[in-house]
Structure 1
Amino acid sequence: MIVVSNCGLYERMSFTSSQGSDSPADAGQAITLRILSSLKNVSREAWDQVANPGWKLSGRGLLTPEDDCKSLKDLSGALAKEFEPTSEETSFNPFLSYDFLEALESSGCATNATGWMPRHMLLQDENETVLGAVPAYLKSHSQGEYVFDHGWADAFYRAGGDYYPKLQISVPFTPATGRRFLTGPGVNREAGLQALAAGLVQVCQKTGASSVHATFLSKGEWDTLGDLGYLRRTDQQFHWENHGYENFDGFLADLASRKRKAIKKERKEALSADGIEVEWVTGSDLTEAHWDAFYEFYLDTGSRKWGRPYLNRDFFSLINERLAERTLLVLAKRHDRYIAGALNFIGSETLFGRHWGCTEHHPFLHFELCYYQAIDFAIAKGLKRVEAGAQGAHKLARGYLPATTYSAHWIAHEGLHDAVADFLEHERRAVERENEALAGHAPFKNRDAT
């Protein structure tokens, strides 16, 4: 049984185990679940060690692999396992980094005032060594999540229930797949996930929250949470996969003739207006002037899509200070003035497309900056894929194939739980059918698009 108590700026939930090596701890080993009201209450090193094990960030986001994971393999025996990391444990995800998540808090984008109350969870041993973590927020609304539950909230409200607050497990404003239950490679993954998932339910019950929502999970996390009683949900995005292409023409050679010609035409027309040039700006070349230009584009898109943008100017300055080496701005310039731009973040294997905007509208310029230039960059840097953000079936014709995204939901109220479970069963089948149908219309000629 987990016992919850208040401890100043955070709360602690402690338990001991005597159930053997597959339990949350060795016999007699105390494991603590600590709830943080801010990432400032944990060290950058401790967070990143479980968020992106095997990687080190320095300077303005310079990424280097750590050759020695001994510190993770030798973590006091608690939650220990033989060192067998999976691909999801070894790839670097910029959104899970301390620098990114803490920038959302320090800039005022993800705070109590914006309805994102940080309630991050740490899994610690008796020596307060961090074994695992979860980025978590107690929320008073459903904005900025990209997994839509407004209908659930409305239905529960009409039935006399309070859907908010709810506990959200995610990277705010970021529809990008990645681990949400963070454990180091020397920690028993399943046992750590189970401990964290159980702790979230306890936090939910203690705070009076209606539910737990873990979004854009890895497939493995989704499977395990389903086994633990969470409701499983799927949705769809479009991702481009790099099949060892040497250049963009190599990618085009994989396409059917008609699709290949269409893309060539779009790229030509996108840059046909007098004086349009495209720049890649990253690392030490990024300046506040670049961010000023991009923020103008972001404000235009954000005001049209959401009424008001989620991210403020301070956030982008913090990203420039901390993660410039993990950031790519693709900018279009005309007559020495920036007119459009796309923001991307660079992982160890994936280029993540995030935001786009413009002050001049030119045919196909959106496709050029967001999709084709992203492919060019991924090929040049040897990245395995491009994730181009939420939604957008128009991406299919540009070589981005349907990919399933995963979320899991724990709902306290039995009636709402049962209604949502029935809805999700039908929704999962619909998503599967749509993915299969779209894959059948993929533009590739020489391989199975699925």
Structure 2
Amino acid sequence: MPTVRILDSLAQVPAAAWDALHDGSNPFVAHAFLEGLERHGCLRPDWGWRPHHLTLWEDARLVAAAPGYLKDNSHGEFVFDHAWADAYARHGRRYYPKWLGAVPYSPVTGPRLLAGDDAARHALLEAIVAEAGALGLSSAHVNFHPQDEDAAFVSDWLPRLDVQYHWENRGGWRDFDGFLAAMDHKHRKNIRQERAKVARAGVGFRRLHGDEASPADLDAIHGFYLQTFREYGNAPALTRDFIAHLAREMPRKLLIILAFRGEEPIAGALCLRGTDTLYGRYWGATASVPGLHFETCYYQGIEYCLEQGLARFEPGAQGEHKLARGFLPAFVRSRHWIADPVFRAAIGDWCGEEAQSVRRYARALQAHSPFREPL
């Protein structure tokens, strides 16, 4: 039987051993990304994030792992369980701390049970439940796992469903004009008008990978990130050092999109690139230009995917406005183990009703697709 080890830092695992557990297609589970968050001050106990990674070992060989955290709140997760925490509180029970298997601040589907087969995934999930029980936790959660990991979860892990908006090159488009040609007249015209407004405002764009970005470019994108968080009154988690770390350690996985008016950067979007998918993460701007957000965050990313031959663009969570710009509804998943059987039954009923509502919502969204033919 494999030996279970709990790690409070990914620095305790060689990067090569960790990265041998996944195929490298998703940058968010890479050792460089997750360990970089820890090393460069993006995860702090006072923000509710305490690394608590579950690993399985055969002698000195790492055979399975789940990046995980003890959470004292539900911030930065994007799978909302505040109502569950409130129900616990009303019954005089403690919901926090809980264990979370996820990538911090990243509502991105990707592998969460890093293992070679379902048997190892089952063993990993058993270790997670055992650890949650040993610590007396209310629950354990695995957020944004891919569909092909569903088979590993037993019935005690309650499923939840939600919808995001993803662009996929389902038409085999070679360029942006080909993409627009698949849309109906109204949506095609609206997108062209939005792009024209940005161009008439004298705004140009540069798309830079990490090894193409200067320190000034990194300063700019981090400044835009801080600007957005200031506007919404939230505490920014990603540090300038972490952005530099990504540019240095994952240079071709990091994509920075900068908008310029003259030589002055006025907006930017930070993205990560996988094998076949671009992931849009953060954006910010210091100027108000009609259409600037859509161009920076969506159209530049679509152009990049078409140029680079990427099949998919996931621009982040939520936002029905994405539908009119070619991002169609896609299901995202999470699983939840609840220790108390009474709460588990009640939450299970709630999750079932939620899933039905989400499926109805997705069907309604499909009826408003901007494309002339179903894709």
Same fold (TM over 0.5): yes
Structure 1 position 416, deviation (Å): 1.9
Q: Tell me which of 244, 250, 267 is aligned to 1:340.
A: 267
Paired residues of 1:222 and 1:407 also in contact (CA < 8 A):
no
Aligned residue in 2 for 1:376: 303
3-state secondary structure, aligned to 2:315: strand
3-state secondary structure, aligned to 1:268: helix
CA distance in 1, matches of 2:288, 2:238: 23
Q: How many residue pairs align between the two structures? A: 374
Instruction: Tell me the amino acid that sits aligned with residue 326 of structure 1.
Output: K
CA distance in 2, matches of 1:168, 1:305: 25
**For structure 2, which runs of at least 5 residues remain unmatched after alignment?**
none
Listed one character per residue, the Cα deviations across residues 24-83 of structure 1 (whole Å, up to 9, x for unaligned) are: xxxxxx31121111101110000000033xx5xxxxxxxxxxxxxxxxxxxxxxxxxxxx
Q: CA RMSD in A?
A: 1.3
3-state secondary structure, aligned to 1:162: coil
CA distance in 1, matches of 2:144, 2:272: 17
CA distance in 2, matches of 1:150, 1:288: 39
Instruction: Tell me the amino acid that sits aligned with residue 271 of structure 1.
Output: A
CA distance in 2, matches of 1:108, 1:284: 22
The answer to whether 1:106 aligns with 2:39 is yes
CA distance in 2, matches of 1:50, 1:305: 38
Aligned residue in 2 for 1:36: 7
Structure 1 position 168, deviation (Å): 0.5
Equivalences for 1:327-366 in 2 at 5 Å? 327-366=254-293
Q: Which deviates the most, 105-114 or 141-150? A: 105-114
Paired residues of 2:168 and 2:327 also in contact (CA < 8 A):
yes
Aligned residue in 2 for 1:219: 147
Aligned residue in 1 for 2:75: 143
CA distance in 2, matches of 1:260, 1:286: 33
Aligned residue in 2 for 1:311: 238
Q: Tell me which of 388, 404, 419 is aligned to 2:346.
A: 419
CA distance in 2, matches of 1:143, 1:124: 31
3-state secondary structure, aligned to 1:332: strand
**For structure 1, which runs of at least 5 residues remain unmatched after alignment?**
1-29, 56-91
Aligned residue in 1 for 2:180: 252
Listed one character per residue, the Cα deviations across residues 296-326 of structure 1 (whole Å, up to 9, x for unaligned) are: 1111212333521122222212112211211
Paired residues of 1:51 and 1:133 also in contact (CA < 8 A):
no
Compute the TM-score of the two structures, normalised by the length of structure 2. 0.97
Aligned residue in 1 for 2:96: 164
Listed one character per residue, the Cα deviations across residues 136-189 of structure 1 (whole Å, up to 9, x for unaligned) are: 001111100011111111110111000011000000000100010011xxx3x2
Equivalences for 1:36-435 in 2 at 5 Å? 36-52=7-23, 55=24, 92-125=25-58, 127-183=59-115, 187=116, 189-225=117-153, 227-243=154-170, 244-273=172-201, 275-305=202-232, 307-435=234-362
CA distance in 2, matches of 1:107, 1:283: 17
Paired residues of 2:211 and 2:247 also in contact (CA < 8 A):
no
Paired residues of 2:160 and 2:355 also in contact (CA < 8 A):
yes
3-state secondary structure, aligned to 2:60: coil
The structure-2 alpha-carbon separation of the partners of 1:298 and 1:154, relative to structure 1 and needing over 3 Å to count, comes to same
Instruction: Tell me the amino acid that sits aligned with residue 2 of structure 2.
Output: I
Structure 1 position 117, deviation (Å): 1.0
CA distance in 1, matches of 2:212, 2:100: 36
CA distance in 2, matches of 1:280, 1:171: 25
Listed one character per residue, the Cα deviations across residues 393-441 of structure 1 (whole Å, up to 9, x for unaligned) are: 1000000000000000001112221221111111100100000110111
3-state secondary structure, aligned to 1:344: strand
Structure 1 position 229, deviation (Å): 1.5
Structure 1 position 223, deviation (Å): 4.3
Listed one character per residue, the Cα deviations across residues 248-284 of structure 1 (whole Å, up to 9, x for unaligned) are: 01111111111111111111112221x3111111132
Paired residues of 1:111 and 1:118 also in contact (CA < 8 A):
no
Structure 1 position 207, deviation (Å): 1.3
Instruction: Tell me the amino acid that sits aligned with residue 361 of structure 1.
Output: S
CA distance in 1, matches of 2:215, 2:72: 33
Compute the TM-score of the two structures, normalised by the length of structure 1. 0.81
Paired residues of 1:116 and 1:139 also in contact (CA < 8 A):
yes
Instruction: Tell me the amino acid that sits aligned with residue 52 of structure 2.
Output: R
CA distance in 1, matches of 2:182, 2:263: 36
Instruction: Tell me the amino acid that sits aligned with residue 93 of structure 2.
Output: G
Instruction: Tell me the amino acid that sits aligned with residue 298 of structure 2.
Output: Y
Aligned residue in 2 for 1:21: none
